[in-house]
Structure 1
């Protein structure tokens, strides 16, 4: 490996491997009386669980990135920021709305000061474009940056957009299925798991979809995001649905926050309408659906409005599809879920208007945009749907300027905290949005 490949990294090697010149050796595991602690992921494990033969130990928590053990060591070189900046740094020629520009200026200023901050932007607000000015200024200063996301598909969607926006900057894409090996780059796009390989590398770290699984409430990945940043570095969290941890940090003034409560077209988020259907699962046993759901689907189909029908579990798909075949025999639809081998084909078919609706699990809660659709959720009170998931699901509607209102309807067996919080979170952002509407003309 070249010396630059060790910059800001924890490179796992056998403890007997000779040390290259200029490389620092760091320990892998702290062995205590009863527990061991991994220096890569920070997790503590009882020695009885972590034991290897001959008094050696390993970390079971981050083993998917290569086994960290007392048989190994880390090679590391402090980040040197050896980059050549080529102008123009920003090669994106789009235009931000007034509200987007205002948020972008705030974000860029805080990135310059290396602060910890949250950009709370509603779904469909164009938050990726809003971070372009801040990234451009940081790259021009010669800083090293990373844009991380919990999900591979988000990284794959972000990478070409960032490549186009910063065409003159060396860039790397890192995830578990990446074909190209690691190389030193000024801007890195990666999954949050890949941050475990870095140590005080980045001057600014941006984490997109910070509320998404598996990052949310995962102490291992939170540790990784803290350790990957320089001690003087800044962090920017992007989300439409901040969790309790982030909101608590905002209230305690530990995290600066910028809001964008309106989408790019200047309209409010569609509100959630809830309908009580206590016996919908019993109805499904007889291949029937709630009458209110049927009427809503009929109205949408007559109006030419396509929609997504979300259901809690994969096992619900077949019964609901069978019922839909009898209710809507002349309409084209299909089911889709995470393990569906035709998942990508079906989603593309929806984009290409081959289907009038999709029946789906929460796999389509984020990362996909279908213009002018409505959103229906049957069993929205099921525990599988978190508050963040429900807000993201609702956010699939109204994303298009040609039909920004959309419709969002939840059918529930009973009211629950998660549903109520989703309703209130959208209402809260719409309250902020109404205050801003005078400043942003609707498209």
Structure 2
């Protein structure tokens, strides 16, 4: 028997006979002389034909294969979410004066159902700033999605939202989720999962809107638009908006709320640049810059945990070996395709490991209370200006540990590093004007 709730505001293939409540449309729709996937919007090409002459979509294949023989079934969103008193908010924390002003601005735009950007520095408490707007939406019986392109962000965010909104049923959706889908007022999901929704949500909160792959994916941007009701709105959250978003703000096409200061009132840590000439040639000999080795040994002696960022996955094993040869042990490597990624990040949170050697996968959305950050090869093109600012923002996020070291080792003083330092300096200038302290 079909579980109708699984189809509320969603579009899913069905291998069994549909119930009368389900409406089906071709998964691949002929528009003129071409076929378009109705799940992801991809236009099929001549190479997308199977041996049996059927067509298939390769763009959203990771969600299950759709062919020209399939239909997508849906039940229009029935708006069965309860109107929860106080929106189910059980959080007892307090917002700072700056956060309260930003929260009121966000709330006003959500109430007006207008799209909005919350541009807040790393560690400003973006999540908590959204709580009043989220509580209001849930009190109206709205269906809400909180989405991010990064699974790490979703996995860290979900328990925080569950604790802050303890009375709100919540479902968490990502690629390898162990729990079955539930129809709930609040959905926390990776942006890819929105491809399965259609006109479902009154409010979509897009966390880390500038993060890969969302920033460069028309498919995922389309997924957000299609998952939102025509009458709905979305709220973008980021510390480093891309040029496209900034242009929309400049042209008054998108309203914006700025938060230039962290929630605890301290300024952002500035990047300390260290020139490490020909560091990659040293690495080929399983050696690291002497200054870096001295710094990391000092951290271990002091019990200071740290994150060491490297440009590429291929660098991880070599750097790990060089660290061991230098007597620097107690850490693990982690990257996007690491099957034990979640366990390793949790081990760092639980202080079971002294450090992580990682790629840009941990540049954002993951918080450790007291860490230093070291970037090796910060002049590599993989480290964009936004990525460097986000990486620096891993430091000093806790009120108990509001400061810390951010060190960037480069072969040369690249333009992206200069721009990142300049962006942090400008944000700190705005922060000082609001009473920020070092």
How high is the TM-score relative to the length of structure 2? 0.90
> Partners of 1:34 and 1:316 in 2: how far apart?
47
Instruction: Determine if the alignment matches structure 1 residue 256 to structure 2 residue 255.
Output: yes
Instruction: Determine if the alignment matches structure 1 residue 206 to structure 2 residue 235.
Output: no
* Partner residue, 1:337: 334
* Partner residue, 1:9: 10
Q: CA deviation at 1:224?
A: 0.4
- Residues 396-424 of structure 1 show CA distances to partners (whole Å, capped at 9, x for unaligned) of 11223333231212111223343233223
> Partners of 1:350 and 1:5 in 2: how far apart?
36
* Partner residue, 2:73: 75
- Residues 260-281 of structure 1 show CA distances to partners (whole Å, capped at 9, x for unaligned) of 1211210110111223323111
Q: CA deviation at 1:55?
A: 5.2
Q: CA deviation at 1:141?
A: 1.0
> Partners of 1:353 and 1:135 in 2: how far apart?
32
Q: Is the 8 A contact 1:87 1:168 kept in 2?
A: no
- Residues 61-117 of structure 1 show CA distances to partners (whole Å, capped at 9, x for unaligned) of 112222222212222232221222242421111111111111111111111111111
> Partners of 2:433 and 2:44 in 1: how far apart?
50
> Partners of 1:54 and 1:320 in 2: how far apart?
49
Q: Is the 8 A contact 1:332 1:355 kept in 2?
A: no
Q: Choose 292-301 or 139-148, whichever is displaced more.
A: 292-301
1:158 is paired with a residue whose SS is helix
> Partners of 2:303 and 2:218 in 1: how far apart?
46
Q: CA deviation at 1:332?
A: 4.2
Instruction: Determine if the alignment matches structure 1 residue 385 to structure 2 residue 386.
Output: no
* Partner residue, 1:154: 153
Q: CA deviation at 1:300?
A: 4.6
2:357 is paired with a residue whose SS is strand
Instruction: Determine if the alignment matches structure 1 residue 65 to structure 2 residue 63.
Output: yes
**Structure 2: 5+ residue stretches without partners:** none
* Partner residue, 2:19: 20
Q: Choose 291-300 or 184-193, whichever is displaced more.
A: 291-300
1:44 is paired with a residue whose SS is coil
Q: Choose 186-195 or 208-217, whichever is displaced more.
A: 208-217
Q: CA deviation at 1:385?
A: 2.1
Q: Choose 303-312 or 380-389, whichever is displaced more.
A: 303-312
> Partners of 1:283 and 1:60 in 2: how far apart?
42
- Residues 309-366 of structure 1 show CA distances to partners (whole Å, capped at 9, x for unaligned) of 2222343344434444455x3x543231225566555545544555554433333323
How high is the TM-score relative to the length of structure 1? 0.89
Q: Is the 8 A contact 1:333 1:359 kept in 2?
A: no
- Residues 232-285 of structure 1 show CA distances to partners (whole Å, capped at 9, x for unaligned) of 210011112212222222122221111212112101101112233231112233
**Structure 1: 5+ residue stretches without partners:** none
1:182 is paired with a residue whose SS is coil
Q: Is the 8 A contact 2:320 2:333 kept in 1?
A: no
Q: Choose 186-195 or 385-394, whichever is displaced more.
A: 385-394
> Partners of 2:419 and 2:43 in 1: how far apart?
34
Change (3 A) 1:71 1:307: same
Q: Is the 8 A contact 1:9 1:201 kept in 2?
A: yes
RMSD: 2.6
